[in-house]
Amino acid sequence: MSKFTFLFCSFIFLQMWLFFVVAAEDDPNSEVKIEVVFKPMECNQKSKKGDLINVHYDGYLAKDGSQFYCSRSDKAGHPQWFVLGVGQVIKGLDLGMNDMCPGEKRKITFPPSLGFGEEGKAPVPPNATLVFEVELYSVSRGPRSMEAFREIDLDQDKSLTKEEVKRYLKLDYERTGTPKDEAFYDKIMADIFHKNDHDRNGLITTKEYNVYQHDEL
Ligand SMILES: [Ca+2]
Ligand SMILES: [Ca+2]
Model pLDDT, residue 2: 54
Ligand nearest to the CA of 165: 1
Ligand nearest to the CA of 158: 1
Range(s) for CATH 3.10.50.40 in the chain? 28-140
- According to CATH, the topology of domain 28-140 is Chitinase A; domain 3 (3.10.50)
Cα(203) to centroid of ligand 2, in Å?
4
Range(s) for CATH 1.10.238.10 in the chain? 146-209
**Tens digits of residue pLDDT in 113-167:** 999 999 999 999 999 999 999 999 988 865 456 777 888 999 999 999 999 999 9
CA–CA gap between residue 78 and residue 114 (Å, rounded): 25
CA–CA gap between residue 189 and residue 183 (Å, rounded): 10
Q: Could you list the mean pLDDT of each consecutive 10-residue stretch along the chain, which spans 217 residues?
A: 52 47 47 95 86 90 93 70 86 95 96 95 95 92 69 93 92 79 87 88 86 41
CATH classification of 146-209, choosing from 3.90.1330.10, 1.20.1440.230, 1.10.238.10, 3.40.250.10? 1.10.238.10
Cα(150) to centroid of ligand 1, in Å?
9
Query: For 77, which DSSP code?
Result: G
Model pLDDT, residue 4: 52
Model pLDDT, residue 188: 83
Instruction: Say whether 92 sits in a helix, a strand or coil.
Output: helix
Ligand nearest to the CA of 157: 1
CB 173 within 8 A of CB 180: yes
Which residue blocks in 25-143 are alpha helix, DSSP H?
91-96
Report the 10 Å Cβ neighbour count for 118. 9
Model pLDDT, residue 3: 54
Q: Which of 155, 168, 164, 169 is nearest to 203 (CA)?
A: 164
* C-alpha 21: how far from chain center: 29
CA–CA gap between residue 211 and residue 86 (Å, rounded): 9
Ligand nearest to the CA of 203: 2
